[in-house]
């Protein structure tokens, strides 16, 4: 029996296998992360943020609701403020619309133009939307305003991440 249980050939073989495995793991990790990320994102999209809007105070007149939360991006933490236009529709559902115009991303306002007191108005290029967020043909926006999913907690409104407007699609 040899005094040296590991031959030079075996040593080289083990070393190359180890280094090769390490390099393969380095290449595979980003691919695995890329494949799994949508699952993690889907979970994150279920996050609801608390607002200070009382459910009982919501009427048929859209009101602006600003809400802030802390966002963590790897090691970086920042405070984010978002806005929603909130009201109750004729069916009694709470509608919370994103104010981001679907033309070039300006901020729309309810009754922002005295000629259109019952519409959302975008001052950048005179975009108009109906109360449920539908873009009005003949104005620049090409799609309806997004809507926040809503939830109630202890009598207060919670908002999720904006999604395609479900109130317009119902028609």
Q: Where on the chain is the footprint of ligand FES (CB under 6 A)?
A: 101, 103-104, 106, 122, 124-125, 127, 140-141
Contact 159, 150 (CB under 8 A): yes
Residue 59 gets which letter from DSSP? Answer: -
Least Cα distance to 120 among 151, 95, 156 occurs for 95
Side by side, which strands form the sheet with 63-73? 63-73, 76-88, 94-97
Contact 45, 51 (CB under 8 A): no
Pick the closer one to ligand FES by CB: 101 or 157.
101
Q: Please, what is the minimum distance in Å from the beta carbon of residue 80 to ligand FES?
A: 21
Q: Please, what is the minimum distance in Å from the beta carbon of residue 120 to ligand FES?
A: 10
Pick the closer one to ligand FES by CB: 145 or 157.
145
Pick the closer one to ligand FES by CB: 101 or 147.
101
Q: Please, what is the minimum distance in Å from the beta carbon of residue 140 to ligand FES?
A: 4
Q: Please, what is the minimum distance in Å from the beta carbon of residue 103 to ligand FES?
A: 3
Pick the closer one to ligand FES by CB: 32 or 104.
104
Question: Which residue of the chain is nearest ligand FES when measured via CB?
Answer: 127
Q: Please, what is the minimum distance in Å from the beta carbon of residue 122 to ligand FES?
A: 3
DSSP 2-15: -S-SS-HHHHHHHH
Pick the closer one to ligand FES by CB: 26 or 138.
138
CA distance 108 to 40: 31
CA distance 5 to 136: 82
């Amino acid at each position: 029996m040899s005094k040296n249980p590991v031959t030079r050939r075996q040593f080289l073989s083990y070393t190359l296998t180890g280094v090769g495995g390490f390099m393969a793991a380095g290449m595979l990790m980003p691919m695995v992360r890329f494949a799994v990320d949508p699952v993690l994102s889907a979970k994150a999209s279920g996050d609801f943020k608390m607002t200070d809007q009382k459910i009982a105070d919501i009427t048929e007149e859209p009101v602006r609701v600003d809400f802030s939360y802390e966002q963590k991006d790897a090691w970086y933490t920042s405070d984010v403020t978002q806005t929603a236009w909130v009201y109750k529709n004729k069916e009694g559902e709470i509608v919370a619309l994103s104010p981001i115009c679907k033309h070039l991303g300006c901020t729309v306002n309810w009754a922002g133009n005295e000629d259109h007191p019952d519409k959302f108005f975008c001052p950048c290029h005179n975009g108009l939307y109906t109360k449920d967020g539908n873009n009005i043909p003949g104005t620049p926006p090409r799609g309806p305003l997004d809507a926040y999913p809503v939830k109630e907690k202890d009598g207060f409104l919670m908002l999720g991440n904006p999604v395609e407007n479900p109130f317009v699609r119902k028609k």
